[in-house]
């Protein structure tokens, strides 16, 4: 991919496993959970919403459609840009909010 700087990033996590029901058994009460750190390097997919640029207070993109007469339509663009080094797959969830039609 041209124009994309490929930087390795370091990712860390802590894994902890415990036995369920340990409080019920005296023998299990003395066991400690298994805990260890996981460290790795690599890339994560990076997708950016290029359009629309309008955002709500939470930073989510807004598509503002105008009021239309019956039988008319309007089209707005949603542009997604893959800015990462990996191929990406995107799943979109659309939330509709209708305004009061009496105004």
Cα separations (Å) of 84 from 23, 59, 65, 88, 91? Answer: 46, 21, 31, 8, 17
- Is residue 4 one of the residues assigned to a domain? no
pTM: 0.53
Q: Are 76 and 63 in contact, with CB atoms under 8 Å apart?
A: yes
- Is residue 102 one of the residues assigned to a domain? no
What pLDDT, on the 0 to 100 scale, is given for residue 2? 47
Whether the pLDDT of residue 67 is over 90: the answer is no
Alpha helix positions (H), the chain: 26-29
What pLDDT, on the 0 to 100 scale, is given for residue 12? 94
**What pLDDT digit, counting tens, does each position of 10-37 carry?**
999 999 998 776 555 666 566 778 899 9
Domain range for 60 is: 9-82
Per the structure, the count of domains in the chain is 1
d(CA 78, CA 66): 16
What pLDDT, on the 0 to 100 scale, is given for residue 102? 59
Q: Average pLDDT in the 27-49 region?
A: 83
- Is residue 1 one of the residues assigned to a domain? no
């Amino acid at each position: 991919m041209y124009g994309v700087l490929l930087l390795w990033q370091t990712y860390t996590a802590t894994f902890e496993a415990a036995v369920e029901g340990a409080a019920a058994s005296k023998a299990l009460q003395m066991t400690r959970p298994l805990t260890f750190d996981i460290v790795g390097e690599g890339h994560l997919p990076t997708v950016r919403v290029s359009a629309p640029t309008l955002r709500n207070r939470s930073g989510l993109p807004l598509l503002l459609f105008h009021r239309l007469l019956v039988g008319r339509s309007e089209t707005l663009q949603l542009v997604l840009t893959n800015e990462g080094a990996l191929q990406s797959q995107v799943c979109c969830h659309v939330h509709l909010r209708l305004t009061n039609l009496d105004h």
